[in-house]
Amino acid sequence: MELANDARDPDDVVEDATDVTVEARAGDTPFTVQSGPRFIGRMSDGQREPVPVRLVVPADAEPGTYQLRLRVSYVRDFDEDETRTVTATVRVPERPRLRVIDTETDLAVGDRGTVTVTVQNVGTTTARDARLALSTDDADLELGGGTQASRLLGDLSRFERETVEVAVRATGSARSERYALAATATFTDQDGFEVSQDLGAVGITPRPALGFELREVRSDLTTGVEGRLQGVLVNDGDRVARAAIVELSSSSETLRFPEPATPSAMSNPAGRARSRCRSRSRRPPTAARAR
C-alpha cells in the first residue's frame, strides 16, 4: 500500500510533513498485524511512499474487502506534532479452503488399522486435484509403512466433502492415548496456482491391546503316546477377536505340537472359545508352555 501527502483538491498545496511514522492496526478486521511502526521521514506535497505491512489472514476469513487502519504520526511546521488515522482497503479474494471435519480409526495398540479422514471444501471456489497428506514424528506410529502418506481427494467444489483411508500401525510400545497426525492439503486454485494449506493436527487414539488368558488346562498325555491338550482361552479385551490362532511351544525336544489350535471368533468382553490341539510325547510334558 502507498501513503500520500496530498490534499483532497489536487489544486491545493499542503505543507511538508517531517518525521512521518506509520503503524498499521487491525481494528475490527480478522487480520493479525505482524509488522511494527515504519519510519518514513520527510514527505513533501504530493509525495507518495510505499508502506509494506505484514498481515496474517486466518484461513476462515470471509472473502470481501476490509478497512485496515493506519496511524500516521508526523511533525508539521517543524514544531507541531500531529496524529491522524487513515484507512487502507484490503481485499480477501474468493478461494478454496479445506477443512478436516471428521476423523475415525479402528487402530489398536500393537496392531494395524486405518485412519479415516473426511475433508470438506468450506471455501467459495473449487479446489482442483486436491490431495491430503498425513505425517507423524512419533516412533509409536507408522503411516503406510513410513512416517507419512498421502491420498487423492480429487476436485472439491464448494461445500463438497471427500473421505479417504490411510493405513496405520501402532507399535506394541504405543499407549492408548491421543496421538497427533499433521495434516496438509495441496490443491490448484481458480487462478491455476498450486496452494499448500496447513490443516492442523488430526487426533487419533489407539484402543488398548487385546488381552487373553488360558484357563482350565488339562491333558491326557502319556509318554510315547499321542494325546490331547485342552484349555479355555478367554478374551479379556474390549472387542471381538476373529480368526484367532493359538500357537503352542515347548522347551522339551520330545514334546511336539503338530498343528496350531484355531478357536472360533471370540466375543467381548471376556468371551470364551475352546481350542484343542494334539501333541506327541515320549515323556511327561513337564516343560510345556503356551504363547
pLDDT at position 23 over 90: yes
* Mean pLDDT, residues 55-82: 88
Going by pLDDT thresholds of 50, 70 and 90, the confidence category of residue 1 is confident
List pLDDT tens digits, range 70-126.
Answer: 999 999 877 789 999 999 999 988 899 999 999 999 998 988 999 999 999 999 999
Q: What's the mean pLDDT when you consider all of the chain?
A: 83
Q: Are the C-beta atoms of residues 5 and 44 closer than 8 Å to each other?
A: yes
Q: What is the predicted pLDDT for the residue at 280? A: 42
CB proximity list for 279: less than 8 A, separation 6 or greater: 221, 226, 227, 228, 229, 248, 250, 255, 256, 257, 258, 285, 288
List pLDDT tens digits, range 136-145.
Answer: 999 999 998 8
DSSP SS3 for 245: coil
CB proximity list for 67: less than 8 A, separation 6 or greater: 27, 29, 87, 88, 89, 90
d(CA 185, CA 112): 24
